[in-house]
Amino acid sequence: MGHVKDNNRWKKKKLLDLAREILRRKHYNIQTEESYVGWILLFTN
């Protein structure tokens, strides 16, 4: 789930892209997604 096929090569997705994809797949509210992304940014910088 953490990779995307790009021109016959596997490339890692960025953390925020992966988090958003998972949250959307689980049908989380957009405000919840924004909050979680904010926390990820806060703790990864």
- Tens of pLDDT, residue by residue over 3-41, are 655 555 556 679 999 999 999 999 999 999 999 999 999
Where does the pLDDT of residue 44 fall: very low under 50, low under 70, confident under 90, or very high at 90 and above? confident
CA distance 23 to 4: 17
Q: Are the CB atoms for 20 and 37 separated by under 8 Å?
A: yes
Domain residue extents for the chain: 11-44
- Global pTM reads 0.68
Q: At residue 23, what are phi and psi to the nearest 5 degrees? A: -65, -40
Per-residue confidence (pLDDT) for residue 13, from 0 to 100: 75
Give the position of tokens 């979680």: 36
- The pLDDT value given to residue 31: 97
Residue 12's pLDDT is what? 64
